[in-house]
Amino acid sequence: MKTAIFSFSHTPFLSPRFLAAAFLISFTLSLAAQQPPSNSADVQREAMRKLSFLAGHWSGPVTIVRGPDEALHLTQSEDVEYKLDGLVLLIEGKSTSADGKGLFSALATISYDDASHTYHFRAYHDGHYLDTELSVPANGFSWSFTAGPAHIVNTMHLTSKGEWDEVTEAIVGSNPPRRSVEMLLQHKP
């Protein structure tokens, strides 16, 4: 019967390199535990509170202009709720025809980057997505992007009656802006 000889010097977990790395990791973790917690998430939550007026269910008329003399008159709903303990705002929008048929749906998130002091808007629709910055003036927001020769600008503000008033305009070259979407939503309990 052979007896196995076990040597600590040949065990990779007890090599000098491994022990030094383990000590370094342990030391770093103990230093991190002694540091006050980062307030990054608190800064982000505070910035996201500027959009608290959006939270809830909204519904109302929307007009979508697809071309000359081609306008769709639909009912729009927007469900807005905070996620991740106030760090992200989730917006789900749906447009339905008079007979209740869903014609348009989109999902968007809004978050705040405290390092760059910017809001980020990411929207998903029909297998595509858009990432852009979001401007947040008092009681509103706006975002824009470029698609080919067109510059698209979307602007929302609360009316004096507390309604969600939003328009989307397309600008091509030096032509005047053309309104492609108009909606006026009421907050529903």
Per-residue pLDDT of the chain (189 residues; tens, 9 = 90+): 544 444 444 444 445 554 455 555 665 555 555 545 558 899 999 999 999 999 999 999 999 998 777 898 999 999 999 999 999 999 999 999 989 899 899 999 999 999 999 999 999 999 999 999 999 999 999 999 998 999 999 999 999 999 999 999 999 999 999 999 999 999 987
| pTM (2 d.p.) | 0.76
Q: Which residues contact 20 (CB under 8 A, 6 or more apart)?
A: none
Residue ranges with strand state E in 22-69: 56-67
- Contact criterion met (CB below 8 Å) for 95 and 103: yes
